[in-house]
C-alpha cells in the first residue's frame, strides 16, 4: 500500500500521486517515521521540562528580591511551557502517524506556532533582562 504524504490519498501503485503529483511512500515507512517523530517529540518535552525545572531552581533565590529577575523568570516560564506543549503536540502527531501513516497537518501547524511564539517570548525576555 502506497500513500501520498501531501494529500493523504492511498494508491496501490508506486511512483507519483495521481491526485497531486507528490512522491508516494509506503505505509510501513510512514509508520516508522511516526514512531521516530514520537520519540523525538518525547525527548523534546522531557528535556525541556528538566531544563525548565533547573532554571526555576537557579532563579528561585534571586527572583524574590529582584523585580527584573522576576519578570524574566515569568517570561521564561511561559516560553518553556509553550515548548513543552509543542513537544506534547508532536508526540500526539507522531502517535497518530505511527497508527495511521498520515500526519495531522493541524497538529503540525499548532506545534510550529507554539514553538515560534516561545522563541519570540524568550527573545523578548532575554533582551529585556539586565542583571545588576
**Predicted pLDDT of residue 64:** 66
* Domain range enclosing 37: 31-128
The answer to the question of residue 21 being in a domain is no
pLDDT digits (tens, 9 = 90+) for 35-53: 999 999 999 999 999 999 9
**27-63 and 67-100 are packed helices; what angle lies between their axes, rounded to 10 degrees?**
170
The answer to the question of residue 12 being in a domain is no
The answer to the question of residue 121 being in a domain is yes
The answer to the question of residue 71 being in a domain is yes
The answer to the question of residue 26 being in a domain is no
The answer to the question of residue 59 being in a domain is yes
**Predicted pLDDT of residue 39:** 97
Residue 114: band (very low, low, confident or very high) from pLDDT cuts 50, 70, 90: very high
Residue 7: band (very low, low, confident or very high) from pLDDT cuts 50, 70, 90: confident
Q: How many independent structural domains does the chain possess?
A: 1
What mean pLDDT value characterizes the chain? 87
**Predicted pLDDT of residue 34:** 93
The answer to the question of residue 23 being in a domain is no
pTM over 0.85: no
Instruction: Report the distance separating Cα 39 and Cα 24, nearest Å.
Output: 24
Proportion of the chain above pLDDT 70, given as a percent: 94
For residues 77 and 67, is the Cβ–Cβ distance under 8 A?
A: no
Find residue 16's DSSP bridge partners.
23
Amino acid at each position: 500500500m502506497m500513500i501520498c504524504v501531501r494529500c493523504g490519498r492511498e494508491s496501490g501503485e508506486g511512483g507519483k500521486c495521481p491526485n497531486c503529483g507528490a512522491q508516494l511512500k509506503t505505509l510501513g515507512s510512514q509508520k516508522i517515521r511516526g514512531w521516530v517523530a514520537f520519540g523525538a517529540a518525547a525527548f523534546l518535552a522531557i528535556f525541556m521540562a528538566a531544563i525548565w525545572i533547573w532554571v526555576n531552581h537557579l532563579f528561585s533565590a534571586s527572583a524574590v528580591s529582584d523585580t527584573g529577575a522576576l519578570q524574566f523568570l515569568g517570561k521564561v516560564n511561559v516560553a518553556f511551557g509553550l515548548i513543552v506543549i509543542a513537544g506534547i503536540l508532536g508526540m500526539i502527531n507522531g502517535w497518530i502517524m505511527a497508527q495511521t501513516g498520515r500526519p495531522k497537518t493541524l497538529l503540525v501547524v499548532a506545534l510550529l506556532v507554539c514553538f515560534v511564539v516561545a522563541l519570540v517570548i524568550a527573545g523578548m525576555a532575554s533582551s529585556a533582562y539586565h542583571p545588576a
